[in-house]
Amino acid sequence: MATLGEDLRAPAAGRRFGFVLDRPEWLGPLMIAPAVLYIVAIVGLPFLLALYYSVSDISMGRRTLGFVGLRNFISVVPTPKFQTSLQNTFVFAIVSQVLVIILANILALALLKDFRGKWLVRLLILLPWVAPISLGTIGWLWILDSIYSVINWTLEAVGLITADGWPMYLGKPYLAMGSVITVHVWRLLPLATVIILAGLTSIPKDIHDAAQVDGASFWRHQFQITVPLIRPILLVALLFGLVFAFTDMVVIFVLTRGGPYDTTQVLASLAFFTGIQGGDLAEGAAIAIFLFPLLLAVAIVFLRIARRAEVT
Amino acid sequence: MSIVETRSVRKHFGDVHAVDGVDLATKEGEFLVLLGPSGCGKTTLLRMIAGLEDPTGGEILIGGQVVNNLPPRARKIAMVFQSYALYPHMRVFDNIAFPLRAQGMPRAEIPHKVEWAAGLFGIEKLLHRKPRELSGGERQRVALARAVVREPAVFLLDEPLSNLDAKLRTSARDELQQFQRRIGTTTIYVTHDQVEAMGLGDRIAVMQGGKVRQIGTPQEVYDEPADTFVAGFLGSPPMNLVEIPDCLLGFRPEHFLPKEAHESRDGLLALPFHITRIEYLGADRLLYGALEGKFPGTKVISKLASTVSTLVQPGKTQDFAVREKDLRFFDRQTGLRTRARPV
């Protein structure tokens, strides 16, 4: 027995590091450290910096940095530009998310069934997500162009519009908002579809069979069985989508730059134009973090509902 | 009229013939058990009767009407699933009310009906709970109540007891049978458990390889098995099969007894038995060993009830015997039952 004990001890000295990896209290922090470092460096620090900028008088090319309290907010919030952008942000985010959730549900349901060429359809649906956003959006820029639009060209070819009646998708206020929402929906649809598909496949087949035997019609089946059962995951998809829509500006920046006449300007793009292109870093920061408390509240509420709704 | 009939029903999944030409007909109000090993096609057959699978061929009739093209909800059936398949987000009340709401019953009548169904299974106190707050036995009752509530013409049960622990299963079996007798609804019950099948069924259809091997009362399928599969599947331990010159000879372990344990010395087939091992099971003893004499080396099992007091010892060869009327004969090629013959 004595020799056995020594045998066990002997390699321990030589492989101390190996044993560290065997201990959960070390291994856990070690594994998660890269992610924490990454988030602190790329998200945390800039966020804190933006928070500080928003209550300072910093601008590009100035070396001093003074604390001014809420002055930036007080001066920018009442401006018509800000008010329009705020309104647009909500229209853009809410309309696009309603569309995304409805379409993603339909797509996910369709993809749940087996049919020939399913892999191809899945690939096509995922494509907008894997393509770089700005690249895809530039494609849309051409599709929606006032002179080269393939949509208008097709509509004219089938006789639905005349040559002098071409809609200016990006040049008219409502059409422009419709266009940016459409492209944003196109872009977020794959993610939402995949999330919802994951939720749908997690429902046991017996539940669907039982609903069928119990006599549920298609709509009853969808709205009383399927949707409630995927509600937690649906809320997560919605939360992701809302945060994306409230904070992202790639689509708007590429397609309209907030135009025409700020009718598609959202807070994210306004912050960029004011802070980076206009050089007023302090006001840009104030615009950028204006919605942060709201988004935080939305995230907390959603995650709470999602957790409470967890069934089985 | 709630007779279920299948006419050469087939279901093929690619090259796999899950159900391969099944002809069955229940009687009115009968408790019919589909019994077989896993993969024998019994659940697929049940799901086709329910309308959850489309048959590859053949016809399914409920109450004399061909229902092949009817969706499940139009077939007047109710089904209980092995997992119970309760709707996890609904309270017990809403689970039971679901089929009623789906068929458009007036709102005011629903609570009354739900309470009636809950009362049948003694779960009135659970109506406000969620399924996850129930025990296995309670979930099973909720599933049964949900099936009963709209008074279907046919009950389809897919191994509803297999998720219960052994003790609960016995009492649940008893309750299930009493309940079925009381409401008298034609019931088709799928199980792989022969004890359940023997205990519950008015008749048992023994299935294997997508085919029905035999259909009959529990006594018929046990005492007069139609082929070697049925003989081997029913009974624990299974029927002993011994190769004799032109066929297979079968006899049940409990009929293979020491010579002196038989009441009469007449009409016995003597088979010397070399015992190698004895398992003591309380009520029974299982004797493992091999025959000697005419058919040396054939492995057989004897099951002695504790009332048999003959001394048996491992390592010894003793005089065992089977009554000739307990012998069964099977064709060696087809495995089918053949006429009795002198051994």
DSSP output for A128-174: HHHS-HHHHHHHHHHHT-TTT-HHHHHHHHTTSS-GGG---TTTSHH
* Inter-chain CB proximity A215 and B146 less than 8 Å: no
Q: What mean pLDDT is predicted for residues B287-296?
A: 89
Answer yes or no: is the ipTM higher than 0.90.
Answer: no
Question: Which residue ranges make up each domain of chain A?
Answer: 79-311
Q: Is the pLDDT of residue A208 over 80?
A: yes
pLDDT at A244 over 90: no
Is B85's CB within 8 Å of A210's CB? yes
The residue of chain B nearest to residue A217, with distances taken between CA atoms, is B102
- Mark yes or no for CB contact A214/B132 under 8 Å: no
CA B88/CA B99 separation, integer angstroms: 15
Q: Is the pLDDT of residue A100 over 60?
A: yes
At CB < 8 A and 24+ separation, what contacts does A180-183 make? A180/A92, A180/A251, A180/A252, A180/A255, A180/A256, A180/A264, A181/A92, A181/A95, A181/A96, A181/A99, A183/A137, A183/A140, A183/A251, A183/A255
**Residue A312: what pLDDT?**
42
Q: What is the pLDDT of residues A140-150, one digit of tens each?
A: 888 877 777 78
Q: Which residues of B touch A207 (CB under 8 A)?
A: 85, 87-88
Q: In angstroms, rounded to a whole number, what is the distance separating the alpha carbons of residues A165 and B34?
A: 71
Across the interface, which of A206, A215, A216 has its CB nearest the CB of B85? Answer: A206
Beta pairing, strands B268-280 & B317-323: antiparallel
- Looking at residue B130, what DSSP letter applies? -
Q: Tell me the pLDDT of chain B averaged across its residues.
A: 90
Tell which residue, A120, A273, A80, A100, has the closest CA to residue A190: A100
Q: What angle do CA A293, A299, A303 make, to 5 degrees?
A: 150
Strand order in the sheet with B211-216: B77-80, B154-158, B186-191, B31-35, B203-208, B211-216
With the CA atoms of A174, A179, A181 and A182 taken in that order, what torsion angle do they form, in degrees rounded to the nearest 10?
Answer: 140
Per-residue pLDDT tens digits for B138-184: 999 999 999 989 889 899 999 988 888 888 888 888 888 888 888 88
> pLDDT class for B97, splitting at 50, 70, 90?
very high
Q: How many residues does chain B have?
A: 343
Partners of residue B50 in chain A, C-beta under 8 Å: 209, 213
Q: How far apart are CA A243 and CA B334, in angstroms?
A: 70
Closest listed residue to residue B58, CA positions, set B17, B21, B26: B21
The end-to-end CA distance of chain B, in Å, is: 49
Q: Using pLDDT thresholds of 50, 70 and 90, give the confidence band for residue B312.
A: confident
Q: Which two tokens stand for residue A186?
A: 């196109």
Query: What stretches of chain B adopt beta strand conformation (E)?
Result: 4-13, 16-25, 31-35, 57-62, 65-66, 77-80, 154-158, 186-191, 203-208, 211-216, 240-244, 247-251, 257-258, 268-280, 284-291, 299-305, 317-323, 328-330, 337-338
B242-253 residue pLDDT tens: 988 888 999 999
Q: In angstroms, how far is the first alpha carbon of chain A from the final one? A: 50
Q: What pLDDT score does B110 carry?
A: 93
Separation in Å, CA of A229 to nearest CA in chain B: 7
At A254-302, the pLDDT tens digits run: 888 877 888 888 888 888 888 888 878 888 888 888 888 888 888 888 8
The per-residue pLDDT for A15 is 59
Residue B326 reports pLDDT greater than 60:
yes
What mean pLDDT do residues B274-290 have? 92
Task: Give the long-range contacts of residues A162-168, CB within 8 A, separation 24 or more.
Answer: none
Let me know: does A146 contact A166? Beta carbons within 8 Å.
Answer: yes
- pLDDT given for residue A96 in this prediction: 92
- How many Cβ atoms sit within 10 Å of the Cβ of residue B129? 15
Give the closest-approach CA distance of A231 to chain B in angstroms: 10
Q: Check A207 against B73: CB less than 8 A apart.
A: no
Q: Using CA atoms, how far apart are residues A20 and A29, in angstroms rounded to an integer?
A: 11
What is the band of B1 on the pLDDT scale with cuts at 50, 70, 90? low
The Cα B44–Cα B207 span in angstroms is 12
Residue A272: count other Cβ atoms within 10 Å of its Cβ. 20
Contact call for B87 and A209, based on CB within 8 A: no
How far apart, in whole angstroms, are the C-alpha atoms of residue A282 and residue A280? 6
Output phi, psi for A186, to 5 deg: -55, -40
Confidence of residue A240 (pLDDT cuts 50, 70, 90): confident
Higher pLDDT, A255 or B15: B15
Closest residue in chain B to residue A218, using alpha carbons only: B102
Per-residue model confidence as pLDDT tens digits over A5-64? 455 554 544 556 667 778 888 888 889 999 999 999 998 998 898 888 888 888 777 777
Q: Could you give the percent of chain A with pLDDT greater than 70?
A: 93
Verify whether the Cβ–Cβ distance A215 to B81 is below 8 Å.
no
pLDDT of residue A8: 53
Report d(CA B68, CA B54) in Å as an integer: 7
Distance from CA of A214 to the nearest CA of B (A): 5
Rounded CA-CA distance A272/A182 in Å is 22
Give B218 to chain A, closest Cα distance, Å: 30
Quote helix, strand, coil % in chain A, to nearest 5: 75, 0, 25
Distance CA B226, CA B206 (A): 10
Q: Is the pLDDT of residue B255 over 90?
A: yes
Chain A residues whose C-beta is within 8 A of a chain B C-beta are: 204, 206-207, 209-217, 220, 224-225, 228-229, 231, 309, 311-312
Q: What residue type is assigned to position A51 of the chain?
A: L
Q: How confident is the model at residue B31 (pLDDT cuts 50, 70, 90)?
A: very high
- pLDDT at position B39 over 70: yes
Average pLDDT in the A157-185 region? 80
Q: Determine the distance in angstroms separating the CA of B199 from the nearest CA of chain A, rounded to an integer.
A: 27
CB contact under 8 A, A215 and B89: no
Mutation for testing the B interface, residue in A209, A212, A214, A234 having most B CBs under 10 Å: A214
When the candidates are 1.10.3720.10, 3.40.50.620, 3.40.50.300, 1.10.540.10, the CATH number that belongs to A79-311 is 1.10.3720.10
Contact residues on chain B for A214, CB-CB shorter than 8 A: 73, 78, 98-99, 102, 146
Contact criterion met (CB below 8 Å) for B239 and B226: no
Nearest alpha carbon to residue A303 among A251, A232, A244: A232
Gap between the Cα atoms of A252 and B8, Å rounded: 64
Nearest CA in chain A to B49: A213
Question: Which SS3 state, helix, strand or coil, does residue A180 take?
Answer: helix
- The single-letter DSSP state of residue B74 is G
Rg (CA), chain A: 26
Q: Show the CA angle centred on residue B235, arms to residues B231 and B240, nearest 5°.
A: 55
Q: Distance of CA B32 to CAs A88, A281, B54, B236, B243, Å?
A: 66, 80, 22, 22, 34
- Find, among B11, B42, B8, the residue nearest to B24 by Cα: B8
Alpha carbons B26 and B215: distance in angstroms, whole number: 11
